[in-house]
Amino acid sequence: MPILGREPDLYPEDLFSSPLILPQDESWFAMYTMARREKELMRHLRSLKIAHYGPITAQRTRSPQGRIRVSYVPLFTGYVFVRGDEVQRHDSISTGCVSRCLRVSQPDELVLDLQRVRMMLQQGQDVRPEPKPVIGRTAVIRRGAMTGMRGVVTKVDNAHRLTVIVNFMQQGASMLVDEADVDLE
């Protein structure tokens, strides 16, 4: 089976640039997909014009022949975040890709966390999922493209990683940072 190219992970493109205050009838939902169906769900949602975000990251592997392959995989396995009303929620579930649908109780917090994850994916290399909350020191990046980003800094193999936690799921994403650009709190 061929490796597919990168697909859009956000619809519409200005989803996070619009105000955080949702219309009265809209909510954020965490759609937990059936196994390995995140991209399929996002394709269906795009065709239905339903606002969503499912962060995708590049994963580099070496084939048995020695070639480097880049595949694009979900950062949070099994999750796609959908914004919409009850009709759009129903349409999302009706795609056949969704196992469970959870209403997000604190949508403002979720949106801020997802914005930070998106910024990491746009600016950083080697963004990895962190399925368990990490223990480290809270820090803020003071210089560079990620100025103002707040997260937990840990030291792994003589390198520093900044982890941003999505509180709704208690999972996060981490990226390499330069120790000189980070101020510990």
DSSP string, 82-116: EEE-HHHHHHHHTTS-EEEEEE-S-HHHHHHHHHH
The answer to whether the beta carbons of residues 57 and 121 sit under 8 Å apart is: yes
| Alpha carbon separation from 4 to 1, 39, 107 (Å, rounded) | 9, 11, 32
Give the pLDDT of the chain (185 residues) as one tens digit per residue: 567 788 999 999 999 987 667 788 899 999 999 999 999 999 999 999 999 999 999 999 999 999 999 999 999 999 999 999 999 999 999 999 999 999 999 999 999 999 999 999 998 778 999 998 888 899 999 998 889 999 999 988 888 999 999 999 999 999 999 889 999 88
Kindly state the greatest CA–CA separation across the chain: 55
**How far, in Å, CA of 121 to CA of 31, rounded?**
21
Rounded Cα distance, 155 and 133, in Å: 15
The predicted model scores a pTM of 0.92
Which structural domains are found in the chain, ordered by start? 1-104 (3.30.70), 126-185 (2.30.30)
Q: Nearest to residue 50, comparing CAs of 5, 17, 93?
A: 93
Spatial contact of 68 and 60, defined as CB atoms under 8 Å apart: yes
